[in-house]
Chain A
Amino acid sequence: MQELKPIGQSALALPSKTHKNQSWGFFPVLTILVLIGPIVSGLVGTILPAFGGSFQSGLSALSFEYWGHLIETPGLARSAWLSLKTGLISTFVSLLVCLLLVASWQGTKIFLFFERLLSPLLSVPHAAAALGLTFLIAPSGWVFRLISPWATGLQRPADLLILGDPDGWALSAGLIIKEMPFLLLMSLAALSQVDTASRMRIALSLGYGQVRGWMLCVLPALYRQIRLPVYAVIVYSMSNVDVSMILGPTAPPTLSIYILNWMTDHDLALRNVAAAGAILQLALVLIGLLIWRLGEKLCALWTQRAISSGKRGAGQSDVIFRLLALIFAAASLLAIFGGLLSQVIWSFAGRWRFPEALPSSFTTRIWERHGASALEMSMTTLALALLAALIALILTIGCLEAEFRRGRVMQRAGLILIYLPLLVPQIAFLPGLQILLLQIGAGLGFWPVLMSHVVFVLPYVFLALSGPYRAWDHRFHTLATAMGKSAFVVLWRLRLPMLLAPILTAMAVGMAVSVGQFLPTLLASGGRLATLTTEAIALSSGGDRRVIGAWVLILSVAAWLPFSIALFVPRFIYRKRLGMLHE
Chain B
Amino acid sequence: MNNSGFEFKDFTISHAKGAELLSITAQVAPGEILSVMGPSGSGKSTLLSAIIGNLPKAFTHTGQILLDGLQLDKRAPQHRKTGILFQDHLLFPHMSVGQNIGFGLPKMAVGKADLIAEALKDIDLEGYEDRDPETLSGGQRARVALMRTLLAEPKALLLDEPFSRLDTDLREKIRDFVFTRARAAGLPVILVTHDVEDVQAAGGQVLDLGEREL
Contact = CB atoms under 8 A, between A and B. Distances in A.
Is there direct touching of A and B in the complex, by C-beta distance under 8 Å? Answer: yes
Interface of A: 1-4, 6-7, 11-12, 16, 19, 407-408, 473, 475-487, 493-494, 497-498, 500, 574, 576-580
Contacts of B86: 475, 479
A482 B90 contact: no
A7 B149 CA distance: 23
A492 to B, nearest CB: 12
B56 interface: yes
B158 to A, nearest CB: 7
Contact of B94 (A11, A480, A498): A498
B90 A475 contact: yes
22 contacts: A1-B153, A4-B1, A4-B70, A4-B81, A6-B70, A7-B75, A16-B77, A473-B90, A475-B86, A476-B90, A477-B54, A479-B149, A481-B78, A482-B80, A483-B83, A483-B149, A485-B78, A485-B103, A494-B92, A497-B94, A579-B93, A579-B134
Contacts of B134: 577-579
Given A407-B57, A483-B83, A498 B132 contact: no
A574 B92 CA distance: 12
Given A481-B77, A578-B134, A476 B92 contact: yes
B103 A483 contact: yes
Contact of B103 (A6, A480, A578): A480
B153 A482 contact: no
B94 A577 contact: yes
Given A482-B84, A577-B93, A578-B134, A408 B68 contact: no
B210 interface: no
Contacts of B84: 478-479, 482
Interface in B63-112: 67-68, 70, 74-84, 86, 90-95, 103-104, 106
Contacts of B67: 4
Interface in B145-160: 148-149, 152-155, 158
Contacts of B83: 482-483
Nearest to A19: B76
B53 interface: yes
A482 B149 CA distance: 9
A87 to B, nearest CB: 41
Contacts of A6: 1, 70
B92 A578 contact: no
Contact of B93 (A408, A484, A486, A580): A580
Interface of B is mostly: loop
B97 to A, nearest CB: 11
A212 B100 CA distance: 47
Contacts of B75: 7, 16
Given A408-B57, A473-B90, A576-B132, A482 B52 contact: yes
B200 interface: no
Nearest to B51: A482
B133 interface: yes
B103 A407 contact: no
Nearest first, the 10 A-B pairs at minimum CB distance are: A579-B93, A483-B152, A578-B134, A579-B134, A481-B77, A16-B76, A482-B84, A483-B104, A497-B94, A407-B57
A1 B92 CA distance: 26
A577 B132 contact: yes
A500 B158 CA distance: 30
Nearest to A408: B57
B135 interface: yes
Contacts of B1: 3-4, 6
Contact of A16 (B49, B53, B149): B53
A484 B79 contact: yes
B94 A580 contact: yes
A578 B74 contact: no
A477 B84 CA distance: 11
A574 B133 CA distance: 12
B90 to A, nearest CB: 6
A518 to B, nearest CB: 39
A516 to B, nearest CB: 32
Interface of A is mostly: helix
B93 A2 contact: no
A475 B86 CA distance: 8
Given A6-B70, A578-B135, A482 B94 contact: no
A577 to B, nearest CB: 5
Given A479-B84, A484-B78, A407 B56 contact: yes
Given A476-B92, A493-B103, A482 B133 contact: no
A11 B76 contact: yes
Nearest to B133: A579
Given A478-B52, A481-B77, A574-B94, 14 more contacts: A2-B106, A12-B74, A16-B53, A478-B54, A480-B103, A481-B78, A484-B78, A486-B78, A500-B94, A576-B132, A577-B132, A577-B134, A578-B132, A579-B94
A493 B153 CA distance: 20
Nearest to B156: A482
A1 B106 CA distance: 12
Given A4-B67, A484-B106, A579-B132, A479 B90 contact: yes
A186 B144 CA distance: 38
Contacts of A408: 57
A2 B90 contact: no
A373 B96 CA distance: 45
A303 B80 CA distance: 52
A420 B93 CA distance: 37
A485 B84 CA distance: 13
Contacts of A19: 76
B143 to A, nearest CB: 16
Contacts of A7: 74-75, 79
B54 A481 contact: yes
Contacts of A475: 86, 90
B72 to A, nearest CB: 9
Contact of B155 (A4, A477, A494): A4
Interface in B123-180: 132-135, 148-149, 152-155, 158
B116 to A, nearest CB: 15
Contacts of B93: 498, 577, 579-580
A478 B95 CA distance: 18
Contacts of A578: 132, 134-135
Nearest to B135: A578
B78 A487 contact: yes
A487 B54 CA distance: 12
Contacts of B81: 4, 484
A483 B151 CA distance: 9
A473 to B, nearest CB: 7
A473 B93 CA distance: 12
